[in-house]
Structure 1
């Protein structure tokens, strides 16, 4: 029997066939929509690729900018430079954070940090290109004293890396990544302009009384940073973190513990060995164009060296630069707020008044109160972050290879941190009790920062 053609189907069967056709068409279109959705989504690993991408671009940038600052004239102001590199570390993390699976923005962790730009979650990004653009932009926006030639070198460095990326990545992805990195850089810069950072001493009146700091010889410079306490730290924690009082009261009595502490600095200065002098000079930094590394270049060189030795990938490196940057900034915030709280005179003033009127410290004493220590105030929390992240591992510091100095080797990060502290005693800048106390408050701050959870454990 021949099958019936469509015209001869019953009305009921024709309705049934039409319904089946509509259902088939709907199913077909729905399936196509689902397929389109799959292809519109980025590959599963593209939003987590920063954990696999090389961090070489970041390491090269930090080394590159250190060379530029080495020859900047005049040299960058230490406290301002530390603050700027702290913002740069945070911005670097934000520029690659979407490429770290499950990572959260630091805007959810830091004090009064605004929300950061978001990438298009349906597009591919090369996070190294985003970091490249963000760093180039932040260096130009945040670092002071850059010449036109410096700016041109920064642009050339950025272009060189983009050309390298183009060997394996499309122009569209690189352009998209650049746009995102620069958007983050601008957001970070705009946030930085609201932190009330002020190094001026205009309007500041020196407190009077026994043991009070006064401008010290040989320069008798005006105080630096008395109003930093009014600036915004990165952490709400830092608003209430405090330096404990001096372990014993100020005294001019020759039998007192304070006199003994000052006499210890004096006695050490009279018998400094060549090695102790070398240690004091190694950690002095700065000192003029082409003489020493402007701070925090030396510290960042150590951070970079440890990251490279551990073969840290882009996401991991960005997190460490962010956390060590936070440690630098808030370490100085706490220290300088409390320097002007305790307002303790430096050894050079006390010793000239009560022990030897002709004495000068081996290194020039900086223009601010003695307690707690600025140097240990930002080295110690950074070192503690590194210990928490990598363990108390051996470290080689090769920061001064460019001037022909042999590298210094340490059995642990703790050993390096101890030498940093003692370098200021050898230099005649600090009492030993100050270094001990400052290392402890730095350790507590570093532990707090290291425990900030940014990625799934």
Structure 2
């Protein structure tokens, strides 16, 4: 994991976006080898036609994937050192040499060239997506008691008000917006809103060790060599599922592509909703109305509360996995490199529920936000899962 020691760590939303493109590129690099498989280009918004393999020539699709991934890692992943890039090159060459024991050089080189051509085409397409996390030029709406305002301790300016204008992978995500809150904002102590906030406050004041551990597990925080750069936690879960289900190359590539679409569009739809509703964070409400000294266990990120950023990405990719494999048990061993025990879940849905509640334990979100965010994200996941890439007449080889 070349990004683990990076300092500073990769920007979360940008890294999700980048791995979204990498997933789509991986699929396109191996697609011609799967009989009946269609390019994603007709299904994705403004995706150009991809380079075509020569139907009369032989390819080794594992090498196409190898070359495409190595190229895309170097093109998309920010903050890589020369040593990181050399490590990627070394892994690519090791795979090439392993394939050479059972494949001719001309086939390998043709496959390598195709993979690299796909990587270049995907990267060039990515340059026009208008991805923007800056708040320069953003004019916030008039402040009301319900409004998000910068939060302690840093009181940082907002991140991502223009993310909604980024080109999504799905036309569906051009306008997707979460439903309104289930009840209105209120400072009345008998109101449902106040009670929702009070739950977050009470959990924070009386947090149990296991609740804090859960909040930390899903936060992936801690800095270089301590945390785990997002989305590597998510990718480790997806990879575990693929390995557990004994997925072959083409199915794995399709799943990485569809979950990658969830990474990018989940962020776009979530941030459109965040800045549309512009809802106050628990830490602000609590310090204003309940306890002036209260702080969230996790540092509150600099953008509005509703809907949930974490769930907005986890819910759609989990739904993609459920549609592909069923609501199967799952093991999350993302932190085995630190010697932490794996977490086992009876189902993908149970894992998603824990990820959602972790943000309540961390003091970042209200319970109603997490519940609605799950439903909102799953609707996107269903849209992604419905993309038909292989003709029903053909099965994955």
What pairs up with 1:292-441 in 2 under 5 angstroms?
Answer: 292-441=227-376
Of residues 4, 7, 14, the one that matches 1:80 is 14
Tell me how far apart the structure 2 counterparts of residues 76 and 382 of structure 1 sit (CA, whole Å). Answer: 21
Q: What's the CA shift for 1:287?
A: 2.8
* CA offsets 1:237-262 (integer angstroms, 9 cap, x no match): 11132200011111111111111110
Of residues 53, 56, 60, the one that matches 1:119 is 53
TM-score (norm: length of structure 1): 0.85
Counterpart secondary structure, 1:335: helix
Q: What's the CA shift for 1:122?
A: 0.2
Of residues 121, 132, 151, the one that matches 2:66 is 132
Tell me how far apart the structure 2 counterparts of residues 206 and 254 of structure 1 sit (CA, whole Å). Answer: 28
Q: What's the CA shift for 1:103?
A: 0.5
Tell me how far apart the structure 2 counterparts of residues 197 and 287 of structure 1 sit (CA, whole Å). Answer: 26
Larger relative contact order (Cα-Cα within 8 Å, sequence gap ≥ 6):
2
Tell me how far apart the structure 2 counterparts of residues 291 and 433 of structure 1 sit (CA, whole Å). Answer: 31
Q: What's the CA shift for 1:205?
A: 2.3
TM-score (norm: length of structure 2): 0.98
Counterpart secondary structure, 1:79: helix
* Counterpart residue number, 1:153: 87
Counterpart secondary structure, 1:69: coil
* CA offsets 1:274-327 (integer angstroms, 9 cap, x no match): 111111111011331011111111001000000011111100000000000001
Counterpart secondary structure, 1:98: helix
Cα pair 1:396 1:410 within 8 Å, conserved? yes
Cα pair 1:70 1:293 within 8 Å, conserved? yes
Of residues 111, 128, 131, the one that matches 1:194 is 128
Structure 1 unpaired stretches of 5+? 1-66
* Counterpart residue number, 1:163: 97
Tell me how far apart the structure 2 counterparts of residues 327 and 227 of structure 1 sit (CA, whole Å). Answer: 19
Of residues 103, 110, 121, the one that matches 2:37 is 103
Which structure is larger by alpha-carbon Rg, 1 or 2?
1
Cα pair 2:316 2:380 within 8 Å, conserved? yes
Deviation >2 Å, runs of 4+: none
Q: What's the CA shift for 1:402?
A: 0.7
Counterpart secondary structure, 1:107: coil
Tell me how far apart the structure 1 counterparts of residues 94 and 100 of structure 2 sit (CA, whole Å). Answer: 10
Counterpart secondary structure, 2:103: coil
Cα pair 1:286 1:295 within 8 Å, conserved? no
Q: What's the CA shift for 1:271?
A: 2.0
How many residue pairs get matched?
Answer: 391
The answer to whether residue 396 in structure 2 is matched with residue 446 in structure 1 is no
Counterpart secondary structure, 2:18: helix
* CA offsets 1:216-242 (integer angstroms, 9 cap, x no match): 001111111011111100000111322
Counterpart secondary structure, 2:19: helix
* Counterpart residue number, 1:220: 155
